[in-house]
């Protein structure tokens, strides 16, 4: 794979500051379900949550659930075979949460403490029916029942922190953001070997949180500058994956 470049365009914004103290809510994990982007907004104490559904065509957003307990809600992925969203806690890397999309949004805790050193990003590989989780220096591969299959070591770029993950069944993608949030990269790994094969600078000067892929483009959700909501960027990479 040759050198890759990205072009990022601001697409939409959702601000939850109306009726709330400024800076209370920030965006964390998110995933794509059909044409809808589901995002998790949390308060500074990580005790109040809002699950936001955004129409990817219009950019319109609405709150669909508030009665959730998801730790840091650091990342999320959609499993179409079970019609559930799986959320990586992030605060406690030994826990995941499965949320039903039947309108009740019930939450089930998944204990992965006996198979993991902790993960903060999660992606579901619908092709191979497996989950891939990124932890501190290790990528974990699980079957659809969260039995650990194998692990692969990796490293983030120096001065960066890990954010959301994504897979298309061929590659594993991982966002990383500088600790000062002035730059973001997309790391690309070979899904089978776990080898890092590309680092793509995104040119986004916000804290990236989660990433989805739709119609040949990536969409990266970030916190806005006031920490009162989210901004979505459309990202086109110069070489198709």
Question: 10-residue block means of pLDDT along the chain (241 residues)?
Answer: 68 66 72 96 81 90 88 95 95 91 93 82 97 93 95 94 95 94 93 94 93 93 86 79 45
On whether the pTM is more than 0.85, the answer is yes
> Helix, strand, or coil here: 183?
coil
Residues 6+ apart with CB under 8 A from 197: 1, 171, 188, 189, 190
- Count Cβ atoms within 10 A of the Cβ of residue 57 and give its class: 0-12 exposed, 13-18 middle, 19 or more buried: exposed
Distances (CA, A) of 133 to 47, 93, 130, 213: 24, 10, 10, 17
- The strand ranges marked E within the chain are 6-15, 26-33, 36-42, 49-55, 61-65, 75-79, 84-88, 95-100, 107-111, 119-125, 130-135, 138-143, 148-153, 160-167, 171-178, 184-190, 196-201, 208-214, 217-223, 229-237
Distance of CA 109 to the CA centre of its chain: 18
Predicted local confidence at residue 17, as pLDDT:
64
Predicted local confidence at residue 241, as pLDDT:
45
Predicted local confidence at residue 19, as pLDDT:
44
Predicted local confidence at residue 124, as pLDDT:
98
Predicted local confidence at residue 238, as pLDDT:
67
Do the Cβ atoms of 168 and 153 come closer than 8 Å? no
Predicted local confidence at residue 147, as pLDDT:
93
């Amino acid at each position: 794979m040759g050198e890759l470049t990205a072009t990022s365009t601001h697409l939409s914004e959702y601000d939850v500051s109306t009726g709330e103290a400024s800076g209370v809510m920030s965006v964390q994990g998110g995933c794509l379900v059909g044409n809808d982007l589901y995002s998790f907004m949390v308060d500074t104490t990580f005790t109040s949550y809002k699950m936001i559904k955004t129409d990817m065509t219009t950019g319109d957003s609405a709150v669909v659930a508030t009665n959730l307990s998801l730790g840091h809600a650091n990342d999320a992925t959609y499993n179409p075979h079970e019609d559930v969203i799986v959320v990586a806690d992030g605060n406690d890397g030994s826990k995941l949460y499965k949320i039903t999309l039947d309108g009740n949004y019930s939450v089930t805790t998944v204990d992965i403490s006996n198979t993991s050193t902790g993960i903060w990003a999660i992606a579901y590989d619908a092709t191979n029916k497996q989950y891939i989780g990124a932890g501190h220096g290790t990528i974990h591969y699980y079957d659809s029942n969260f039995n650990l299959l194998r692990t692969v070591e990796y490293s983030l770029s120096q001065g960066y922190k890990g954010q959301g993950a994504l897979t298309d069944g061929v590659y594993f993608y991982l966002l990383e953001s500088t600790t000062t949030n002035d730059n973001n990269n997309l790391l690309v790994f070979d899904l089978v070997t776990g080898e890092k094969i590309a680092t793509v600078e995104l040119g986004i000067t916000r804290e990236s949180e989660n990433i989805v892929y739709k119609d040949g483009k990536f969409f990266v959700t970030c916190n806005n500058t006031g920490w009162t909501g989210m901004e979505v960027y459309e990202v086109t990479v110069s070489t198709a994956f």
